[in-house]
Structure 1
Amino acid sequence: MANMAAVMNRLGSIDIEERPEPVPGPADVVIEIRAVGICGSDITYFTHGRIGQWIVDGPIVLGHEASGVVIDCGPEVQRVKAGDRVAIEPGVPCDNCRECRRGDYHLCADLAFLATPPYDGALVQRLRMPERCVYPIPDSMTFEQGALAEPLSVGLWACRRSGLRPGEDVLVTGAGPVGILAGCAALALGARTVTIVDVSDFRLSIADRLGLRAERPSGRADPDHDVLIECSSAQPALTSGLRRLRPGGRAALVGVPKTELAELPLAELVPQEVTLALVNRYAHTWPTAIALLAGGRVPSEHLVSHHFPLEATAEAFTLPGRSQDSLKIVIEPQRLAG
């Protein structure tokens, strides 16, 4: 049985190729991948070939939001067994550096992260991962929900980085999947209100259906929120969002700026003692993310807008540029076209 993968051999092009069958090491598992969510970073690699310091310089398999079924285990594996349904945390730290030893494994300089050059990702039918990177999901969860544990983890980490406290008012700029999930996470963690701002009526309609207050950009600068979670990567959204923070407000910046330098209205922020926190992925979030999705405290039924078989990966990657009504796209590697 061939192990097929969606391989980007050239910029903007995907080939379906056979990859070697994975064999587990002593503490590894082999997973039959059932669902892979497409992230904005995947599309950026597909269209531009780089994100900051990470440059695609050869064939690469994309996709890092994944779930599936364990089909083989190494002899030292103890937490999972063949047949378990699992969500995959896509970063493998070294476990030896100062950051790993203090628990900040997401800051490990040697972190091997799926679909980040030079490491291949999860758009493959069978994948080997360390046991430490897989988390069982209940039968009540779908595989697409398992894949959503990754972007939800980004939202959870943003809430933690912002120092969100129950009863606070939260502003989210950018109603992509991460922004919407960050807003839903904030509500689940006790936010009094969550307002989300975007230019897309379609995305705002999904946010509204999931219980968030949806707004289009208005240029208003009233200090009416305690926390800002910036997920748009747009300079105007960052500036206007910061200006809507109350004195002592906190901002968590998830979006990666499209330019090397971002502008901050410091003359306005300093007197208010606004705190800025940067967000680099997540750490120790998977059990919480799975519990919130499985228990329905973070709703997900409207987030996935499209499903594709593995052979249509190229079509899936170009869909956001062709359709205004796409949100989270999921590829099912076990489903072939035809």
Structure 2
Amino acid sequence: MVANPSLVLNKIDDISFETYEAPEITESTDVIVEVKKTGICGSDIHYYAHGKIGHFVLTKPMVLGHESSGIVTQVGKGVTSLKVGDKVAIEPGIPSRFSDAYKSGHYNLCPHMSFAATPNSTEGEPNPPGTLCKYFKSPEDFLVKLPDHVSLELGAMVEPLTVGVHASRLGSVKFGDIVAVFGAGPVGLLTAAVAKSFGAAAVIVIDIFDNKLQMAKDIGAATHTFNSKTGGDYKALIAAFDGQEPNVVLECTGAEPCINTGVNILAQGGRFVQVGNAPGPVKFPITEFATKELTLFGSFRYGYGDYKTAVSILDANYKNGKDKAPIDFEALITHRFDFKDAIKAYDLVRAGSGAVKCIISGPE
């Protein structure tokens, strides 16, 4: 037996280190990845603190982690795009290959999705394995090779970056667009960075914390920022944006005031993409929405081509070296931990101690 050290969420407030048997290749297209870097996501913390997100309820132990990169250690005999030693980013959600959602090109909406570190409600079935372990098995087509100049740490950020890619693609963000992003957490900052990479002429990031807004500017993701707690109403927001009404809003908070403000600041015929999850129903300015002929998109995870696009963004961003990179994605990594201290890492992020993106190395 090959040991597979793993970090396991047993129940609310209970995380432990466990050792399982490492996965083995069973299909010709299987790939075994030795995980090297894993980011902590807000959903991980939600399960840790509350045991559920919507209808995903933790009822049995679950290996944590879904934002990971690593090194290929084994490949099935049918694998052609990867070889042992390649650096890869792991796309952590595998749909049913037989679902209508998969066949129609919307596999992120597959009702039978097996998504890493997301509880499985099927009685008697184990939860899908998370990626915070030494060895992780994936189909070849859900791994994306990383360019030489994109580090494994950046590879672990591909998953949340891809959320921003999916949102920008849904909102058809293109060269010259004027974009407003609500929320300066990790997803909001990365979403703003994607909009900028897609060619947006101006990107304003809105939040209630000045230090987060400063980071949005410092990393090169935002051309403008606005503190919605101290800065005033939506008219003041537009004034802070040099009088520009955005034609795209990417809402990454799920907060009712932000949703309402987003509709109010959008230009006529604009596009509104809802990325953040709300805790429940929200009041929505439907008359304003209708009279402006706005378009609303829901955004859930990511779909076909989004992972490769995210890696391409990092590739282009760092092709001339870190010093000449237009966006400093690495600056979002504010905390680093070894695997042996992974529980401490989760507790730090849960405590809200100022971590933007926390990366765990290993297990070695």
Instruction: Give the TM-score normalised by structure 2.
Output: 0.88
Kept in 1, the 8 Å contact 2:11–2:58? The answer is: no
Kept in 1, the 8 Å contact 2:263–2:288? The answer is: no
**After superposition, where does 1:132-143 map in structure 2 within 5 Å?**
132-143=141-152
How far does the alpha carbon of each residue in 1:267-318 deviate from its partner, in whole angstroms, 9 at most, with x for none?
A: 2221111111000111121121111112215531211111112222222122
Take 1:233 and 1:320, find their aligned partners in 2: how far apart are those partners? 20
Match of 2:333 in 1: 304
Kept in 1, the 8 Å contact 2:38–2:69? The answer is: yes
How far does the alpha carbon of each residue in 1:127-150 deviate from its partner, in whole angstroms, 9 at most, with x for none?
A: 111111111101211111111111
Kept in 1, the 8 Å contact 2:65–2:117? The answer is: yes
Match of 1:2 in 2: 3
Q: How far did 1:48 drift?
A: 0.6
Take 1:168 and 1:50, find their aligned partners in 2: how far apart are those partners? 37
Residue 288 of structure 2 is aligned to residue 268 of structure 1 = yes
Amino acid paired to 1:325: G
Q: How far did 1:201 drift?
A: 2.3
Take 1:91 and 1:35, find their aligned partners in 2: how far apart are those partners? 18
Residue 179 of structure 2 is aligned to residue 166 of structure 1 = no
Take 1:315 and 1:265, find their aligned partners in 2: how far apart are those partners? 43
Consecutive unaligned residues in structure 2, runs of 5 or more? 121-127, 239-244, 318-325
Kept in 2, the 8 Å contact 1:227–1:249? The answer is: yes
Choose the corresponding residue for 1:32, options 31, 34, 37: 34
Take 2:50 and 2:355, find their aligned partners in 1: how far apart are those partners? 20
Take 1:10 and 1:156, find their aligned partners in 2: how far apart are those partners? 32
Take 1:147 and 1:87, find their aligned partners in 2: how far apart are those partners? 7
**What secondary structure sits across from 1:246 in the alignment?**
coil
Q: How far did 1:184 drift?
A: 0.8
Take 1:333 and 1:292, find their aligned partners in 2: how far apart are those partners? 25
Consecutive unaligned residues in structure 1, runs of 5 or more? none
Take 1:219 and 1:13, find their aligned partners in 2: how far apart are those partners? 42
**What secondary structure sits across from 1:225 in the alignment?**
coil
How far does the alpha carbon of each residue in 1:148-182 deviate from its partner, in whole angstroms, 9 at most, with x for none?
A: 11111100110111122321110001111111111
Which deviates more from structure 2 when the two are superposed, residues 179-188 or residues 304-313?
304-313
Match of 1:319 in 2: 348
Task: Give the RMSD, CA atoms, in angstroms.
Answer: 1.4
**After superposition, where does 1:236-315 map in structure 2 within 5 Å?**
236-259=257-280, 261-283=281-303, 284-296=305-317, 298-315=327-344
Say how many residue pairs are matched: 334
**After superposition, where does 1:1-338 map in structure 2 within 5 Å?**
2-25=3-26, 26-118=28-120, 119-211=128-220, 212=222, 213-217=224-228, 218-222=231-235, 224-259=245-280, 261-283=281-303, 284-296=305-317, 298-334=327-363
Instruction: Give the TM-score normalised by structure 1.
Output: 0.95
**What secondary structure sits across from 2:331 in the alignment?**
coil
Take 2:103 and 2:58, find their aligned partners in 1: how far apart are those partners? 30
Kept in 1, the 8 Å contact 2:9–2:48? The answer is: yes
Q: How far did 1:325 drift?
A: 2.3
Amino acid paired to 2:205: I
Take 1:258 and 1:219, find their aligned partners in 2: how far apart are those partners? 25
